[in-house]
């Protein structure tokens, strides 16, 4: 992206969890290339419920696997999708290792924060 068109801010809403872990570095490079000097990324994504209700599972998820879910739609079609659930400290460490500074926090259901290139 041309410097004149570079973004000062970017937002990743419920998206980071769909980037496979082995592609995180490439994704980070793509995001960084879209940001201008002192650019910052804001993010929010789903977190595993730390105090789940006994019957609170997503009714469309048929199988929970490490970094992969299998979902069935109402019409019966099934899909596998990448779903990497991060905890705040894990995401903070990953982002920092990729050359960013970050401030990551969480609520019971969501992880959120910002990251900026060093």
For 31-109, list the strands marked E by DSSP: 35-46, 61-65, 68-72, 78-82, 100-106
How far is it, in rounded angstroms, from Cα 39 to Cα 31?
A: 10
* Domains defined along the chain, listed by start: 3-50+85-117 (3.40.50.150)
Span 66-117, pLDDT tens digits: 788 888 888 999 988 898 888 899 999 988 988 889 999 999 889 999 998 8
- Verdict on whether the full-model pTM lies above 0.85: no
């Amino acid at each position: 992206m041309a410097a004149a068109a570079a973004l000062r801010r970017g937002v990743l809403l419920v998206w980071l969890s769909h980037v496979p872990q082995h592609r995180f570095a490439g994704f980070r490079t793509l995001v960084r290339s879209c940001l201008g000097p002192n650019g910052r990324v804001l993010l929010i994504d789903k977190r595993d419920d730390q105090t789940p209700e006994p019957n609170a599972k997503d009714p469309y998820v048929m199988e929970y696997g490490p970094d992969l879910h299998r979902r069935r739609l109402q019409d019966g079609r099934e899909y596998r999708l990448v779903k990497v659930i991060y905890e705040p400290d894990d995401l903070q460490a990953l982002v920092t290792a990729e050359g960013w500074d970050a401030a990551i926090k969480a609520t019971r259901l969501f992880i959120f924060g910002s990251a900026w290139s060093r």
